[in-house]
């Protein structure tokens, strides 16, 4: 029941946000003004051997999203709490450590993995805690078929070890998906589907991202 409740609340909050706080940017977000904020929380899972990655390994990806979101969207990425990264010391269940890309990510939200993610989700306790709607990034061991994955209306994205160690753009790309951006067909674009992507964006992408409930004036 908790899983269904979380899903229903997400949809309701997203609709209300888009037709209230997000409406000006949905129409005029290409202007990129005034500045906005996105709160980010990166939670590193642990297995039997300990944390999957170090905070230092995440620094390039965090620096990248901070630069690109500010330069391209005029959105300042700030930590949800005192720092961007939290290491979850408790051993995560296997269902949360390894997930197939695609439909399995959605179905996992309604099982053991989803319960674990919900337990550690920044800014939520079944319902929102406050009005900042952060994006939580879970670093897991493996997303089979991808290095990162995000689904619309979810408040978290997944990044695996390769997505941390082999690329710096995957985190920013997946947070873009969390803010309702879809894949672009041009290699120079942040939302290009391959790792060779650039960091460019188009005007309509500014409208979409800046109108997301994760991107706020406060």
Q: Which residue has the higher pLDDT, 26 or 15?
A: 26
Predicted confidence (pLDDT) per residue in 83-117, tens digit = 999 999 999 999 999 999 887 787 888 889 989 99
CB 137 within 8 A of CB 155: no
Q: What is the pLDDT of residue 2?
A: 59
Q: What is the pLDDT of residues 59-81, one digit of tens each?
A: 999 999 999 999 999 999 999 99
User: Are the C-beta atoms of 158 and 143 separated by less than 8 Å?
Assistant: yes
Indicate the pLDDT class of residue 128, thresholds 50, 70 and 90: low
Reported in sequence order, the residue ranges of 48-174 that DSSP labels E, i.e. its strands, are 50-51, 75-79, 85-91, 98-100, 124-125, 127-128, 135-140, 142-144, 148-149, 156-160
Residue with tokens 């919900």: 118
What is the pLDDT, as a whole number, of residue 1? 45
Confidence at residue 163, expressed as pLDDT on a 0 to 100 scale: 98
Residue 20 confidence (pLDDT) above 70:
no
What pLDDT, in 10s, does the model give residues 21-36? 667 787 778 889 999 9
CATH class given for the domain over 2-216: alpha beta
* pLDDT in the model for residue 16: 59
């Amino acid at each position: 029941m908790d899983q269904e409740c979380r899903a229903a609340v997400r949809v309701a909050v997203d609709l209300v946000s888009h037709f209230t706080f997000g409406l000006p940017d949905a129409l005029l977000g290409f202007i990129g003004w005034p500045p906005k904020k996105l709160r980010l929380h990166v939670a590193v899972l642990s297995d039997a051997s300990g944390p999957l990655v170090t905070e230092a390994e995440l620094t390039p990806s965090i620096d990248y999203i901070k630069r690109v979101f500010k330069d391209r969207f005029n959105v300042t990425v700030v930590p949800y709490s005192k720092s961007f990264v939290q290491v979850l010391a408790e051993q995560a269940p296997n269902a949360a450590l390894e997930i197939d890309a695609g439909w399995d990510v959605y179905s996992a939200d309604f099982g053991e993995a989803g319960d674990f993610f919900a337990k550690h989700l920044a800014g939520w306790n079944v319902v929102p805690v406050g009005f900042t709607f952060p994006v939580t990034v879970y670093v897991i061991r493996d997303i089979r078929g991808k290095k990162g994955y995000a689904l619309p209306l979810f408040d978290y994205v997944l990044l695996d070890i390769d997505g941390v160690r082999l690329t710096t753009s995957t985190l920013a790309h997946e947070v873009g998906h969390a803010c309702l951006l879809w894949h672009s067909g041009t290699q120079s674009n942040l939302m290009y589907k391959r790792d060779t992507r650039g960091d460019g964006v188009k005007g309509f992408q500014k409208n979409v991202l800046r109108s997301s409930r994760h991107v706020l004036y406060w």
